Amino acid sequence: MKTLYTTRVSAVGGRNGRVSSQDGILNLDVRAPKDMGGSGGATNPEQLFAAGYAACFDGALNLVARQAGTPLKNTEVSSEVRLLFSEQEGFRLEVDLFVRIPDTDPALARELMEKAHHTCPYSKAIEGNVKVQLHLLEK
């Protein structure tokens, strides 16, 4: 397999620290959210994961649509990431992807979403480990 891109991001201080990319483009404070007893006021690992997943899935959606001869316009993907905890399992994530595909037949939109889910590197990376639900948003 051919490597298309490599990046490196470092974290210092965990949930109450800083993340920065080797090239300096990403340079953010990280804080535990208030919902988890933290101070909030900065991004957190779940937001960063949600942002990356939404962008990657939207890219995969548009790729599979172009490959199918159905280019899309103005698609939007929102990723809702939940951090869960139980005494039995410890920590885990769940994800809901909310996908808007304007001016597209709902049956075709669902088909493209499923193909994107099998194409997206984030979906493939977490398959079998993280529950992911796809939701087509109408209008």
Tell me what pLDDT residue 138 has: 85
What SS3 class is residue 17?
strand
Percent of the chain with pLDDT over 90: 99
Which domains are present in the chain? 1-43 (2.20.25.10), 45-137 (3.30.300.20)
Tell me what pLDDT residue 116 has: 98
Tell me what pLDDT residue 22 has: 97
Confidence of residue 47 (pLDDT cuts 50, 70, 90): very high
The token duo for 23 is 């090239």
Tell me what pLDDT residue 68 has: 96
pTM of the model: 0.95
Q: What is the mean pLDDT of residues 42-48?
A: 97
- Give pLDDT tens digits for 76-133: 999 999 999 999 999 999 999 999 999 999 999 999 999 999 999 999 999 999 999 9
Tell me what pLDDT residue 38 has: 93
**Long-range interactions of 104-108: CB distance < 8 A, separation 24+:** 104/70, 104/72, 106/136, 106/138, 108/70
